[in-house]
């Protein structure tokens, strides 16, 4: 894959949060939330990021969106490095990149009507002179977007509390579509929804992608959801990507011990299969990301660890045809 086709190219992204010190004193340190992440997303592709809480998947999305100023690294959208743009230029560039959030209750302003929520991005960009649209055009687009995401346009004067969780998520999606972005960053957009509604929203994401040629960075902790929606999948653990490959390959032949454990732990809704399955039960919890690592990030919980895993950090290396894994089982330390 050459760089020219990539819509989004993330290189060496790090996001560290300092803590402690200050007025309250206490131990000074850093949370290594994202600790060196590289990936790219082709136009029209869906890259899924999967991992457990605290692995840095949401922080990655927020750092890509420049909601945080990354500690290090580059975020190239259409070849433009967002980390180096002035605030005014960044706003212009961000038009091509929108976000959908997890909690459809917290991410919609309860005092705004559905129509105003969807119109807000357009109004902001219009006020700044970036978007040329008349009031009427905006109104028409609100109605078009609402119908497109499966909401009646007659609901545009209703407030968020009058909608169910699934409908609210549709409002959030319509808002994300308002500026005709190329890339949508979806941060756990179906995790708060009931199973029957989750399927509706996942299908909506797929339909919109086909219709508008959208590119998704799709974050979820549910492996089955990620498999359904993604063309390629990255598995994160403790702030790094441990494995990345085409979705079909990753699920058929997971290479990293963590990916293997994750897949074996996820329940399958079929009692017969569940009885036959062998689980890899990991011991312990995810360690706190509050220190720099000198060895493999998964060392503490890995059941296949070797001596060399403690002393050097495995890098992502290609094993075959686009399947990359960061594990010394497959490649030796440099």
Partner 1 sequence: MTDEVILRVKDLRTYFKTDEGLVKAVDGVSLELRKGEILGIVGESGSGKSVTNLSIINMIPSPPGEIAGGEVLFRGRDLLKMGAKDIRNVRGNKISMIFQDPMTSLNPFLRISTQMMETIILHQGLGKKAAKEKAIEMLKLAGIPAPEKRIDQYPHQFSGGMRQRVMIAMGLACNPEVLIADEPTSALDVTIQAQILELVEELTARLGTAVILITHSLGVVAGMCDTLCVMYAGRIVERGTTDDIFAEPRHPYTQGLIRSVPRLDVAAADRLPSIKGQPPNVIDLPECCPFYPRCESAMEICKRSYPDSADFGSGHRVSCWLYAKERA
What sign does the CA torsion over 124, 212, 187, 107 have?
positive
Could you tell me which stretch among 107-115, 134-142, 152-160, 277-285 binds partner 1 (CB under 8 A)?
277-285
108 binds partner 1 (CB under 8 A): no
Comparing CB distances to partner 1, the nearer of 230 and 324 is 230
159 binds partner 1 (CB under 8 A): no
259 binds partner 1 (CB under 8 A): no
- Pick from 270, 294, 304, 322 the residue near partner 1 by CB under 8 A: 270
DSSP character string of 251-307: HHS--SHHHHHHHHHS--S-HHHHHHPPP-PPPS-PPPS-S--SS-TTGGG-TT--H
**Residues touching partner 1, count (CB under 8 A):** 47
Least distance to partner 1, CB of residue 294, Å: 23
DSSP character string of 18-86: EES-TTT----EEEEEEEEEEEEEETT-EEEEE--TTSSHHHHHHHHTTSS--SEEEEEETTEEGGGS-
Comparing CB distances to partner 1, the nearer of 125 and 163 is 163
Least distance to partner 1, CB of residue 150, Å: 10
Which strands sit side by side in the sheet containing 72-77, from one edge to the other? 29-42, 6-19, 72-77, 80-81
Comparing CB distances to partner 1, the nearer of 137 and 285 is 285
Least distance to partner 1, CB of residue 228, Å: 4
Query: Could you give the string, one character per residue 192-211, with x where binding to partner 1 holds by CB under 8 A and - elsewhere?
Result: --xxxxxxx-xx--x-----
Binding site for partner 1 (CB under 8 A): 52-53, 164-167, 194-200, 202-203, 206, 221-225, 227-229, 247-248, 251, 261-274, 279, 281-283, 285-286
């Amino acid at each position: 894959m050459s760089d020219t086709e990539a819509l989004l190219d993330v290189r060496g992204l790090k996001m560290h949060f300092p803590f402690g010190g200050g007025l309250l004193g206490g131990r000074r340190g850093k949370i290594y939330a994202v600790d060196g992440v590289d990936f790219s997303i082709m136009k029209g592709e869906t890259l899924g990021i999967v991992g457990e809480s605290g692995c840095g998947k949401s922080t990655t999305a927020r750092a890509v969106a420049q909601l945080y100023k990354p500690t290090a690294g580059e975020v190239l959208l259409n070849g433009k490095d967002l980390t180096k743009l002035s605030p005014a230029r960044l706003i212009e560039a961000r038009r091509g990149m929108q976000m959908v959030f997890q909690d459809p209750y917290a991410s919609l302003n309860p005092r705004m009507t559905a129509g105003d929520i969807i119109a807000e991005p357009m109004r902001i960009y219009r006020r700044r002179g970036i978007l040329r649209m008349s009031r009427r055009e905006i109104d028409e687009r609100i109605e078009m977007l609402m119908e497109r995401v499966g909401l009646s346009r007659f609901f545009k004067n209703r407030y968020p509390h009058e909608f169910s969780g699934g409908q609210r998520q549709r409002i959030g999606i319509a808002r994300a579509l308002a500026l005709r972005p190329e890339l949508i960053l979806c941060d756990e957009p179906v995790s708060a929804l009931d199973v029957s509604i989750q399927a509706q929203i996942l299908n909506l994401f797929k339909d919109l992608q086909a219709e508008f040629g959208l590119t998704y960075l799709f974050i979820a902790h549910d492996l089955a959801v990620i498999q359904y929606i993604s063309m390629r999948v990255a598995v994160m653990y403790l702030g790094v990507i441990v494995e990345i490959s085409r979705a079909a390959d990753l699920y058929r032949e997971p290479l990293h011990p963590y990916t293997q454990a994750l897949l074996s732990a996820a329940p399958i809704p079929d009692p017969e299969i569940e009885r036959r399955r062998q689980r890899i039960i990991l011991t312990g919890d995810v360690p706190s990301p509050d220190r720099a690592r000198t060895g493999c990030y998964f060392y503490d919980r890995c059941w296949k660890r070797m001596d060399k895993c403690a002393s050097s950090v495995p890098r992502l290396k290609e094993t075959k045809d686009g399947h990359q894994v960061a594990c010394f089982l497959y490649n030796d330390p440099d």
